[in-house]
Amino acid sequence: MSSQAEVISQDQLDARQQGGKIKCLVWDLDHTLWNGVLLENSDVHLRDQVISVMEELDARGILQSIASKNDYDHAMDKLKEYGIDHFFIYPQINWNRKSLSIQQIAESINIGIDSLAFIDDQPFEREEVAHTHPSVLCLDAEELLQILDYPAFKPRFVTEDSKLRRVLYQTDLERKKVEEEYVGPQADFLASLQMKVRIGRVKPGDLQRAEELTVRTHQLNTTGYTYSYEELDELRQSDSHLLLIASLDDKYGTYGKIGLTMLECREEVWTIKLLLLSCRVMSRGIGGILINQLLRMAKEAQVRLRAEFLPNSRNRMMYITYKFAGFQEVQKQGNLVILEHDLTLIPAAPEYVDVEVSL
């Protein structure tokens, strides 16, 4: 048993050093966020510098949530009293196992559980989470003032989209609530959003966000490839490649820059080497809109259009998106699947969205 504990401890130590690994920090409350036990005494006090830590995480684009065994209303009232309730999305304040709460948070945000960190003062709670979810970075509450220095909490770039990430997710919560209450066809709901998609070439000012998208986006990514700022800049300027970025807005506000695609443009064949989308737009049909734009461009250029797809445990939805758009498999190179579209039938953009293309 001791050897297993040592292995887990080493894994946790290594996880602290993985640059930009953490997308969400999940907080315990009693003796972690504040000193004291709320159910025993309502006069609890926030720990020293905890707000500055929370504000810095927020500024870096790291989301925050809660997994606490407490009374929900009592705890939320205390968070509101301190004016910090807005920092937390999908807080799980209940009597469930912490591992279950953390799983619920990951599913609600729609991110990999391996991108979560959990901070708690109780060794038992940390061990319970680590045993159930070995990939979650578990932190002792005594590490509070150190976490900002851990590479895992240091994204390479902090983009404008990063700074707005919490607000973007909170706006999504409002959209989801409206969607759940909407009675009628899905197309009518999408039309009610007044969506506008903008597609254009990646510019120098987009490169940090473009790199961030390749690093952070796994589920809706056709190949799982990641590209550095320098690689993307080189591809942006290449005569044989076309790098496009997409943004989305609706009546509730902006989703930010949510899509990236890279075309390798040869004389007779264009190949989609990368197509990825933020998970926040999964149900908005943006993948099909981007693909249809590429189909039209290829047809106008009188070239064949192919696409590469590298399957993994998360990205099958993107394979379905290609198939739904009319791509067919033509060959395999190991695990890499090559698809091709015959360009005979190219759907128009859906009526419920306004598409603006600037190339």
The tens-digit pLDDT sequence of the chain (359 residues) is: 333 444 446 677 777 878 778 999 999 999 999 999 999 999 999 999 999 999 999 999 999 999 999 999 999 999 999 999 999 999 999 999 999 999 999 999 888 899 999 999 999 999 999 999 999 999 999 999 999 999 999 998 888 888 889 998 899 888 888 988 999 888 899 899 999 999 999 999 999 999 989 988 777 899 988 899 999 999 999 999 999 999 999 999 999 999 999 999 999 999 999 999 988 887 888 999 999 999 999 999 999 999 999 998 889 999 999 999 999 999 999 999 999 999 998 988 888 899 999 98
* pLDDT of the residue at 273: 96
CA distances from 186 to 22, 97, 174, 195, 254 (A): 34, 36, 17, 14, 20
Q: What phi and psi values does residue 20 have, to the nearest 5 degrees?
A: 65, 20
For the chain, give the number of residues: 359
Asked if residue 48 lies in contact with residue 139, where contact means CB atoms within 8 angstroms, the answer is no
* pLDDT of the residue at 78: 98
Of 173, 29, 36, 161, the C-alpha closest to 98 is: 29
Label each residue of the chain as H, E or C.
Answer: CHHHHHHHHHHHHHHHCCCCCCCEEEECCECCCEECCCCCCCCCEECCCHHHHHHHHHHCCCEEEEEEECCHHHHHHHHHHCCCHHHECCCEEECCCHHHHHHHHHHHHCCCHHHEEEEECCHHHHHHHHHHCCCCEEEEHHHCCCHHHCHHHCCCCCCHHHHCHHHHHHHHHHHHHHHHHCCCCHHHHHHHCCEEEEEEECCHHHHHHHHHHHHHCCCCECCCCCCCHHHHHHHHHCCCEEEEEEEEEECCEEEEEEEEEEEEECCCEEEEEEEEECHHHHHHCHHHHHHHHHHHHHHHHCCEEEEEECCCCCCHHHHHHHHHCCCEEEEEECCEEEEEECCCCCCCCCCCEEEEEEC
Asked if residue 280 lies in contact with residue 328, where contact means CB atoms within 8 angstroms, the answer is no
- Separation of alpha carbons 301 and 170, rounded Å: 42
Q: Which residues of 204-225 are buried (b: 16+ CB within 10 A; e: fewer)?
A: eebbbbbbbbbbbbbbbbbbbe
* pLDDT of the residue at 4: 40
- Mention every residue, 6+ apart, whose C-beta is less than 8 A from residue 142: 121
Of 232, 285, 239, the C-alpha closest to 258 is: 285
- Mention every residue, 6+ apart, whose C-beta is less than 8 A from residue 72: 93, 94
* pLDDT of the residue at 125: 97
Burial status of residue 342 (CB atoms within 10 A of its CB: 0-12, 13-18, 19 or more): exposed
* pLDDT of the residue at 224: 86
